[in-house]
Amino acid sequence: MPKITYIEASGKEHVVEAPIGQTVMEAAVKHAVPGIDADCGGACACATCHVYVDPEWLSKTGEQNSMEQSMLDFANDVEDNSRLSCQIKVSAELDGLVVRLPKSQH
């Protein structure tokens, strides 16, 4: 299974095995990675699964879709590499992906 590293705002790292086909959000939530709230469970309704994709992975994670872009417009501390992790599907290509988490999702 692809491994994904989540780095909390404090610097604490969590390495999680993520099943292909699930989302980067789901893998975090199921392993109780703190810092990803994902209140809506991946329905793109809450904007509480915001992550920063490590720049070298941006080409592989793809781009923000339009709904995601609009949601991120209202999130805090948004950067060019911001994504909603519920919109990134895990694939074999993403083995080794590193994402950083914002200080707060609200």
Partner 1 sequence: MSPGEIKRVIIIGAGQAGGETAQRLRQGGFAGDITLIGEEPAPPYQRPPLSKGYLKGDLDMDRLLLRPASVYAEENITLLTSLRAVWIDRANKRVRVEGGRELPYDALVLATGAKPRKLPLVGADLAGVHLFRTAADVDALKPHFVRDAKLVVVGAGYIGLEAAAVARQLGLHVTVIETAVRPLARVTSPEVAGFFLDEHTRQGVQFVLGGQPAVIKGRERVTGVALVDGMEIPADIVIAGIGVTPDVALAEQCGLTVENGIVTDALCQTSDPAIFAIGDCAARPMAHFDGRMARLESVHNAMEGAKIVAAALTGAKPHTVEAPWFWSDQYDLKLQIAGLFQGYDNVVLRGVMADRSFAAFYYKGPKLIAVDAVNRPAEYLGAKMLIQTGRTIPPGELEDETRPMKELVAAAR
Point out which residues bind partner 1 (CB under 8 A): 22, 26, 29-30, 32, 34, 39-41, 43-47, 67, 70-71, 73-74, 106
Q: Which is nearer to partner 1, 59 or 65 (CB)?
A: 65
Task: Write down the least CB distance from residue 62 to partner 1, Å.
Answer: 18
Q: Which is nearer to partner 1, 54 or 69 (CB)?
A: 69
Q: Which is nearer to partner 1, 84 or 98 (CB)?
A: 84
Asked whether the beta carbons of 97 and 27 are under 8 A apart, the reply is no
Q: Which is nearer to partner 1, 56 or 67 (CB)?
A: 67
Q: CA 5 to CA 71: how far, in whole Å?
A: 24
Task: Write down the least CB distance from residue 61 to partner 1, Å.
Answer: 20
End-to-end CA distance of the chain: give it in Å, rounded: 31
Asked whether the beta carbons of 51 and 101 are under 8 A apart, the reply is yes
Q: Is residue 77 within a helix (H) or strand (E), and if so which, with residue range?
A: none
Asked whether the beta carbons of 92 and 2 are under 8 A apart, the reply is yes
Task: Write down the least CB distance from residue 92 to partner 1, Å.
Answer: 19
